Amino acid sequence: MAGRGTAAVAFVCLVFLAASSAAAAAHVHDAAEHGVPQGLTRRTEADVRAMFDAWLARHGRTYNALAEYVHRFRAFRDNLDFVDAHNARAVQRGGFRLGMNRFADLTNAEFRAAYLGSSTAGRGRNAVGERYRYRAEDVLPESVDWREKGAVAPVKNQGHCGSCWAFSTVAAVEGVNKIVTGDLVTLSEQELLDCSRNGQNNGCNGGIMDDAFDFIVRNGGIDTEKDYPYAAKEGKCDLAKKARTVVSIDGFEDVPDDDEASLMKAVAHQPVSVAIEAGGREFQLYESGVFTGRCGTELDHAVLAVGYGTGTEADGGKDFWLVRNSWGPGWGEGGYIRMERNVTARAGKCGIAMFASYPVKNGPNPKPIPPAPEEKCDRYSSCPAGSTCCCTYGVRSVCLAWGCCPAKGATCCRDRTTCCPSEYPVCNAGKRTCAKSNGSPYTVDALPRTPAKRQRTAVSELVDSIFSS
């Protein structure tokens, strides 16, 4: 295997060395072919190869096959030509800049397929809220940045999963919770991926923020990121963690459609979930400045509007929206993009004013429930409150050792090591799953039992010695 890898690398080097000679001889023709501005010389193949190797090292990227390596290099080279041409024009005329970020080895089609996942098309709209509808007498701040007020958590990374809707939702709830309670608590996108299957939400295949807000309201809240961490893939809903409602909201509302002034009023009061069209090549490779690039209104990505303002002279003095993305801090301006504001289109830049919504929170979060009495299994054994006693070892009708199932009213499975919550009471010991009913396709993982707490007596010590030997 090692020999094959060495040969493959050598063959790649030979291919690119041969191509380099041809590219050097025809760089004038290539520059015109790729739309490079007059006077800008296209980089040589050797220069691009060196840049690509450095990019691979910086991003820790490796490929499993020679064909994949060649394909990625070609995509990188094409993107580099595009970036060079754009930035050359930006130097001459001013404007935003592009860069060779973590998406630089992807074609635009590959980028769209891997990272975009909002499902706003054809969605039913929630009742439009009137609290942020703009009126002529309203006086709004000239600029807002909720990061400065501690209402925005560090930028996160959705990975190869179309979960942007969950990140937008969670960030909006984190923001309003900070505003109302004074505490910034990072919350769980994974809970929404696994458990929010209402409406159009479909895990890594996309979803919408209104349905995610609705799930949080109906569930009574949402768990923390620390307790229910992100895995960048769908899993089975963890019912125990779903029940841990650390942060709650009272409802959600939509900003009036196609109204940048109302969106501005909403953002002046709290971070707002918005949907945009982010599938363009300029958006993919955005690096800095006020984005004025090409985009339409085919909404395919969910983000969070955390502020607005006006750019400097270097930015052409353009008004902008400050938008937090979920592609990690290495994309854009530390994970953010400034998008042009006050455009002629009513939908706003890239459709930002079309489907904006925000959570409503009126008071404190649910108080932790005081500890309840332990569950007594027998005279000497007990389990934590809210759990179920399950016999692990017994003789006829006498249980000698008890286990604890971490769910109230659970079914104790015959394998003596697992149990099933009351909502999924049918055990499948072989698969270690629990179903709603016999033959039901709706299952969750079986819950593991833990040993019950026992008072130390001569009898319990004898039982321990028997089962530990």
Q: How many domains does the chain have?
A: 3
- Whether 419 contacts 407, CB under 8 Å: yes
Task: Report the alpha-carbon distance of residue 446 to residue 431 in Å, rounded.
Answer: 9
Kindly state whether residues 229 and 280 are assigned to the same domain.
yes
Residue 249 located in a structural domain: yes
Kindly state whether residues 209 and 306 are assigned to the same domain.
yes
The residue among 208, 135, 197 whose CA lies nearest residue 165 is 208
Q: What percent of the chain has pLDDT over 90?
A: 72
pLDDT tens digit string along 173-220? 999 999 999 999 999 999 999 999 878 899 999 999 999 999 999 999
Give the pLDDT score at 41.
85
Kindly state whether residues 298 and 431 are assigned to the same domain.
no
pLDDT grade for 460, boundaries at 50, 70 and 90:
low
Mean pLDDT for 244-260 is 96
Residue 402 located in a structural domain: yes
Q: Which of 301, 350, 420, 434 is catalytic?
A: 301
The residue among 327, 352, 183, 325 whose CA lies nearest residue 267 is 352
pLDDT tens digit string along 285-341? 999 999 999 999 999 999 999 999 999 988 889 999 999 999 999 999 999 999 999
Give the pLDDT score at 369.
65
Contacts of 261 (CB under 8 A, 6+ apart): 134
Residue 21 located in a structural domain: yes
Kindly state whether residues 290 and 382 are assigned to the same domain.
no
Kindly state whether residues 178 and 326 are assigned to the same domain.
yes
The residue among 371, 232, 227, 347 whose CA lies nearest residue 297 is 347
**Residue whose entry in the numeric block shows the structure tokens 């008004």:** 319
Kindly state whether residues 407 and 343 are assigned to the same domain.
no
Residue 356 located in a structural domain: yes
CATH number for 255: 3.90.70.10
Kindly state whether residues 207 and 315 are assigned to the same domain.
yes
Task: Report the alpha-carbon distance of residue 254 to residue 252 in Å, rounded.
Answer: 7
Kindly state whether residues 390 and 341 are assigned to the same domain.
no
Q: Which of 164, 195, 405, 413 is catalytic?
A: 164
Residue 367 located in a structural domain: no
Kindly state whether residues 310 and 414 are assigned to the same domain.
no
Kindly state whether residues 277 and 303 are assigned to the same domain.
yes
Domain boundary among 337, 360, 383: 360
Kindly state whether residues 69 and 180 are assigned to the same domain.
no
Give the pLDDT score at 236.
84
Domain boundary among 360, 386, 407: 360
301 is catalytic: yes
325 is catalytic: yes
Q: 3-state class of 36 per DSSP?
A: coil
- The span from the first CA to the last CA of the chain, in angstroms, equals 47
Residue 46 sits at φ, ψ, to 5 deg, of -65, -40
Task: Report the alpha-carbon distance of residue 186 to residue 225 in Å, rounded.
Answer: 6
**Residue whose entry in the numeric block shows the structure tokens 């394998």:** 415
Domain boundary among 93, 115, 131: 93
Q: Which of 325, 377, 383, 412 is catalytic?
A: 325
User: What separation in angstroms does the CA of 171 have from each of 61, 188, 341?
Assistant: 29, 10, 21
Domain containing 386: what range? 375-468
Residue-wise burial string across 28-46, b where 16 or more C-beta atoms lie within 10 A, e elsewhere: eebbeebebeeebebbebe
Kindly state whether residues 339 and 394 are assigned to the same domain.
no
Q: 3-state class of 350 per DSSP?
A: helix
- Whether 159 contacts 232, CB under 8 Å: yes
- Whether 391 contacts 399, CB under 8 Å: yes
Residue 426 located in a structural domain: yes
Q: What percent of the chain has pLDDT over 70?
A: 86
Residue 98 located in a structural domain: no
Residue 110 located in a structural domain: no
pLDDT tens digit string along 372-409? 688 999 988 999 888 999 999 988 889 989 999 988 89
Task: Report the alpha-carbon distance of residue 339 to residue 277 in Å, rounded.
Answer: 12
